[in-house]
Every structure is written in structure tokens, then in C-alpha cells.
Structure 1
Amino acid sequence: MSSDPESPKLEDGHQLLLKRLGVTIDAGTLRLALTHRSYAYENGGIPTNERLEFLGDSILGFSVTDALYRDNPTLPEGELAKRRSAVVSTRALASIARSLGVGEFIYLGQGERLTKGRNKSSILADTMESLIGATYLTHGIETARELVMRLVGPLLADSAVLGAGTDWKTNIQEIAAARHLGTIEYEITGTGPDHNRSFSARLLIGGQHFGTGAGPSKKEAERSAAAAGWNVLQERFAGKGGAAGSASGTAAG
């Protein structure tokens, strides 16, 4: 048992988390699923949730792939892959975790707690995968798949989430090449303290401004700017063969 003063408080909430998940998981496996490596390091090198995360990632991917294949008999492989990528992404899993309040139950080291680790998308997404893995160990594949579809299934019909799986930056590259628009650049600016930075990006193509985006990382800001730029290009080239022209239009995320 850890000497961490937060530990009893976290354990008191385990039943609430299980109620939200709609499953039962034995106490030891649940605690392991919620143990981040930062906490393990500060508490004598105890086991972390990373092996469960590895297991849950495979179950998540298979369950979503199976559902997509069965429910969309006419979709080509590329579109199936794009949809799977969208709903198993860090962004999507973190959103699910936030809706369940998973962050408040994760065992984190002091450094992660001080830097708002309970709301970091990467930690939340990894913990969701470890909880899926824990469910599998406790109940087997069918219950684990039911959990996955209960949590992720609604996202398969959410156009906003599916759109988030689109590789907008690749789309912009294809459009710029097909239309001979010039060099692509992203101007990045950052604000806020080092542990809580936010970024904005301006998309320039051939020196012209096509879109602005924002996000918690440079990558997300660029991606958001590219998505905005895609809409501008769609309007500009409407009636002229579409934005991409001879380009492919979309790419798997």
C-alpha cells in the first residue's frame, strides 16, 4: 500500500468509476489499470498500467474494426481505416474519459498532478485502454467488446468525430500540388506557461493566408489551420472540379 495521502481518496471512488463504466473489475486489477508510470516511479517502482494499456489497445482496435466491417458492407478499405483511426484516436478516447470523469481516479505522481496530468489527453486515452484491458482480464472478450461498443459505438455515427480522423495537412499538400498554389507554411505562436501552453497556427500557401487554427500542441494547431484552409479552398474552387481537382481529396488519419 502506498504512503501517498491521495490513495485512500482514490480508492473510495473506485465503485463510482465502475458504476460509470458499467462493469465490475476486481480491486487489484482496477488499481493496476489506474496506476500511471509517474506514480509507480515515486512509490518504489510498483507495476504500472502499461501492459494493460497494450492489451486494451488491441481489444479496442479489433472491436472497432469488426463493427465497422459488419455495419458498412459497401465502404472501401481506406474509408474503414479512416473511421477506425478517428474513433480510436487519443482525442476520441480522452473525450470519453473526460465524460466519465476518469481523470479524478488515476494514480499520478506529484509532478503530473502539479501539471494537470488528470486532464492530459495522452494519460486519459492510455488509461481508457488499460481499463478495457482490465475488463478483458476480469470477464473475457465479450464483456470487453461490449464495453468498447458502449463507449466508442456512438462515435461511429458522429460526423464531427469522423471528420477529426481526416489528415487535413496531407489534403492541403495534395490540393496545393494539384493547383500549383505554391509553398505551404504554418506560422506558429505559443502563449501561456511551459506546463500549460496553447498554440495558434496560420496556414500560408504561396504567401497567402488560407486559415487559422488553435490547439494544445503545435501539431494540433497546424491540423486545425489545415482543416480551416480546406474549407476556404473548397469555396474558392467550387464549380472548378472541387478543391482538390485531380488530388485525392481525403486521406486516412
Structure 2
Amino acid sequence: MVNKRKGSAQKQGVIPEKAKAQFEILQRQLEVVFKNKALLYQAFTHSSYVNEHRRKLFTDNERLEFLGDAVLELSVSKYLYETYPQMSEGELTKLRASIVCEPSLVIFANELNFGRFVLLGKGEELTGGRERPALLADVFEAFIGALYLDQDLDTVVQFLARVVFPKVEIGAFSQVMDFKSQLQEMVQQSNNGLLSYEIIDERGPAHNRTFVSSVMLNGEELGIGRGKSKKEAEQQAAQCAMRVITEQQGEA
């Protein structure tokens, strides 16, 4: 017989008042208000905390993590599909994998200071659990799962549009996004001519330099990009040029 117990947030034990106050701060920081606060608490409840409070009916975040993993992958997939129409299936898969992998999720969680809010058992706390990469990645996925259940997919997408998608747009995952090669292929397919790149500006001190690159097609500027390195600036310029070409093709 299938066990239909949902491990729902309704069974979540009574959260300490101090922790509740912290979660109110978190919601303000995230600009998200949970209708069912118990779901939010559950997303940040580690199994070690549950094990130390067995009589209080706490529910850990593992099931929410399972759900959040799927919701995150769907949301990122939809965003990439709509944002990069020129990318092949293989390229989209590679880029998505770099966004939803553990190291990336840890970065997202750390930037949101999620580790501070996790409910941990004393043993896990003493061994540095709040900084453990796997735990932080799991909490981020669990939060996504909780947000989806509490509200809807559109709310999740709006949250990701503030936290994750801008990083894709500024080239944080450029190691798997070779826009220069993709732009070259687009130009070759249309037999449109010769591409060239030029660094047109450098800003900031030596230790924090920003480069501005221009990409030209047959001597005519097609896009401008900025980056912390010349390579990143060129990649951003190429991405900008690809958008221009895609828009022009859509208008033709």
C-alpha cells in the first residue's frame, strides 16, 4: 500500500518565537510573504533539528527539496528556452546544468544569507552545518518548493527573475555560453560578412577594471558589452548582437 502521508507543513512543530522573528526578517528581505508560514519554516528545517525534537512533530525539508529541484529545473528551462531562441538543445541543456548545479545553488543561498535561518541540530551546528555546501543547496531547493506550494509557479519565476536570471544575463555562466561562436555561426548562415571586436573603453581602478567592447559587422556596430575582462566584454557584446539579429529577423 502506498503511504499517502504528505509530511505536510501542517504537522510542523511549534517554531521558537525568536526563529519566527528571524523568518519575518527573511520574508522582508526576499520581498515574499508566505500565506502558510509553516511551509517556510519547513523549508529551513534540517533533519538534524527534527531528530533532536522528535516529540514536537517537526518535518524536515527533504520532501520540499525534492519538489523544489523539479520546479527550479522547469522554471530555468522555460526561461532559457524563451530567452535564447538561437541555442540548440545541447547548449540549453549544458547551460541549465551549470545554473542548477550544487555550486551555483550554494552561491544563490549564500547571497540570500539562507544559512543564517536554517534550523539545525546542535551536532550539525557545531560541525559547521550552516556553511556546508550540500545543506545550503538543499535549502535553496526546499525554499523554491515551499514557495511553489504556497503560491504558484509564476511567483517562483518572479523570485528567480530577481535572484538567478540576472546572473545569466550578465554572463555569470559565460564559461558555458560561447556567444562569440554562436554569433559567428549566425552570421555565416546568413552570409552577412565579417565580424570584428574592439575594446572601446576601460573604466575603474586597475584592481576593479570594467571593459567595454563593441562588435561590428562589416564595420557597422551591432552590439556593445561590458565585463570584468576583455573576453567577458566581447561575449556580452556578441550576446547583444545576437538579440539585434534575432529581432531583425523577426521583423523581416
Question: TM-score when scaled to structure 2?
Answer: 0.60
SS of equivalent to 1:74: coil
Aligned residue in 1 for 2:23: 14
Q: 2:94 is aligned with what amino acid?
A: K
Q: CA deviation at 1:100?
A: 1.2
Aligned residue in 1 for 2:143: 131
Q: CA deviation at 1:165?
A: 9.6
Query: Where does structure 2 lack aligned partners over 5 or more consecutive residues?
Result: 1-11, 179-252
SS of equivalent to 1:23: coil
Alignment check: 8 A CA contact 1:10 1:104 kept: no
Matched, 1:37 2:50: no
Query: Where does structure 1 lack aligned partners over 5 or more consecutive residues?
Result: 167-253
Matched, 1:60 2:69: no
Aligned residue in 1 for 2:250: none
Q: 1:9 is aligned with what amino acid?
A: K
CA distance in 1, matches of 2:86, 2:114: 36
Q: CA deviation at 1:78?
A: 1.4
CA distance in 1, matches of 2:140, 2:31: 14
Q: CA deviation at 1:40?
A: 0.9
Give every structure 1 segment of 4 or more consecutive aligned residues whose post-TM-superposition deviation is greater than 6 Å.
Answer: 1-4
Counterparts in 2 of 1:1-253, with a 5 A limit? 7-25=16-34, 26-44=36-54, 46-163=58-175
Cα 1:161/1:8, change in 2 over 3 Å? farther
SS of equivalent to 1:82: helix
Cα 1:70/1:85, change in 2 over 3 Å? same
Structure having the higher Rg: 2
Higher mean C-alpha displacement, 104-113 vs 148-157: 148-157
Percentage identity across paired residues of the two chains: 37
Q: 1:31 is aligned with what amino acid?
A: Y
Q: CA deviation at 1:48?
A: 0.8
Q: 1:42 is aligned with what amino acid?
A: E
Q: 1:55 is aligned with what amino acid?
A: L
Question: TM-score when scaled to structure 1?
Answer: 0.60
CA distance in 1, matches of 2:25, 2:14: 23
CA distance in 2, matches of 1:110, 1:3: 18
CA distance in 2, matches of 1:113, 1:119: 9
CA distance in 2, matches of 1:9, 1:165: 44
